[in-house]
């Protein structure tokens, strides 16, 4: 008799792609989970670029925004390099008050047309997190705008000014993968890449210091290992990063 998987089991992420673009609101958003998966993909020869909507300047209590922006930019670039990502772009929307609307959609559509990815990665756009807790306005706004912008990027009559700027439509996005979604459907095996993800998160030293008295590596290892082990229960016992996958 053929055995079937329990209904709560996660499917493997697709691997038949070459270029991905990760778009999130803040420095550190990718490192709280997705970076371990990104490390596995770049090691396999795939191309991944990062677009940060803000520089995270409002993220460190007690540090002036202009100082925090410079530190968090440096930390994000160093963090990306740990997992094999060389291209990191900042769009300079204001941290904490990202406005969901046409300007954001246009900026993201432009980025998608520039990088021409097959896979787009973003962070949880739902109202809450898996297991409870209210999501932040920036995450919700950017996540929803990413889903919209993948369609905008392929339609030359939406934001036609982008064509005038030299950005031709791109209809090549095949999936949007939402990291840390409250409704995951897929997962990426990070058994061999968790340590790389831990090192990537630990590069956000100033940000972590504002959150915890722990050593950054210890803090990152505790957080990411706990989440990878929780996902393993739904992924055949393999440590993994969960995603909600939207086919396009």
Which CATH number do you get for residue 163? 3.40.50.10320
Q: 67 lies in a domain?
A: yes
Q: Find the mean pLDDT for residues 109-133.
A: 95
| Predicted pLDDT at 232 | 98
Q: 187 lies in a domain?
A: yes
pLDDT in tens, 193-209: 999 999 999 999 999 99
Domain containing residue 89 = 14-247
Quick check: 245 pLDDT over 80?
yes
Q: 63 lies in a domain?
A: yes
Helix (H, G, I), strand (E, B) or coil at 158: coil
Quick check: 185 pLDDT over 60?
yes
CB–CB of 244/176 below 8 Å? no
Q: Find the mean pLDDT for residues 21-43.
A: 97
pLDDT in tens, 46-67: 999 999 999 999 999 989 999 9
pLDDT in tens, 109-118: 999 999 999 9
| Predicted pLDDT at 3 | 44
Q: What is the mean pLDDT of the chain?
A: 95
Where residue 132 falls among pLDDT bands split at 50, 70, 90?
confident
Distance (Å, whole) CA 100 – CA 138: 9
Q: Find the mean pLDDT for residues 27-43.
A: 97
Strands 47-52 vs 186-189: parallel, antiparallel or unpaired = unpaired
Q: 2 lies in a domain?
A: no
Percent of the chain whose pLDDT exceeds 90: 94
Number of domains observed in the structure of the chain: 1
| Predicted pLDDT at 1 | 37
Q: 7 lies in a domain?
A: no
Distance (Å, whole) CA 162 – CA 143: 21
Which strands, in side-by-side order, build the sheet including 119-123? 11-12, 186-189, 240-247, 175-179, 119-123, 19-24, 47-52, 88-90
Residue 247: HSE in the Cβ half-sphere, 13 Å Cα cutoff: 1
Q: 3 lies in a domain?
A: no
Farthest-apart Cα atoms in the chain, separation: 64
pLDDT in tens, 138-183: 999 999 999 999 999 999 999 999 999 999 999 999 999 999 999 9
Where residue 5 falls among pLDDT bands split at 50, 70, 90?
very low
Quick check: 92 pLDDT over 60?
yes
Instruction: List beta partners, residue 189.
Output: 240
Residue 26: HSE in the Cβ half-sphere, 13 Å Cα cutoff: 27
Where residue 130 falls among pLDDT bands split at 50, 70, 90?
confident
Q: 97 lies in a domain?
A: yes
Strands 119-123 vs 47-52: parallel, antiparallel or unpaired = unpaired
Q: Find the mean pLDDT for residues 26-50.
A: 97
Contacts of residue 167, defined as CB under 8 A and 6 or more positions apart, other chains included, come to: 110, 113, 114
Distance (Å, whole) CA 196 – CA 209: 20
Q: 6 lies in a domain?
A: no
């Amino acid at each position: 008799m053929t055995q079937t998987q329990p209904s709560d089991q996660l499917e493997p992420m697709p691997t038949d792609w070459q270029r991905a673009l990760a778009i999130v609101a803040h420095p550190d958003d990718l490192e709280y989970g997705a970076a371990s998966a990104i490390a596995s993909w770049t090691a396999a020869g795939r191309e991944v670029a990062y677009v940060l909507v803000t520089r995270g300047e409002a993220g460190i209590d007690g540090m002036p925004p202009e100082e925090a922006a410079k530190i968090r930019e440096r930390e994000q670039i160093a963090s990306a390099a740990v997992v094999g990502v060389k291209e990191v772009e900042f769009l300079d929307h204001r941290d904490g008050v990202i406005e969901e609307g046409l300007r954001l959609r246009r900026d993201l559509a432009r980025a998608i047309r520039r990088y021409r990815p097959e896979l787009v990665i973003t962070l949880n756009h739902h109202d809450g997190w898996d297991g409870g807790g209210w999501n932040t306005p920036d995450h919700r706004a950017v996540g929803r705008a990413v889903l919209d912008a993948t369609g905008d990027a392929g339609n030359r009559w939406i934001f036609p000014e982008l064509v005038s700027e030299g950005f031709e439509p791109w209809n090549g996005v095949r999936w949007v993968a939402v990291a840390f979604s409250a409704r995951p459907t897929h997962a990426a095996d990070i058994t061999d890449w968790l340590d790389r993800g831990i090192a990537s998160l630990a590069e956000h030293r100033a940000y972590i210091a504002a959150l915890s008295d722990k050593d950054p590596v210890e803090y990152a290892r505790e957080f990411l290992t706990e989440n990878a082990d929780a996902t393993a229960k739904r992924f055949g016992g393999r440590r993994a990063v969960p995603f909600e996958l939207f086919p396009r």
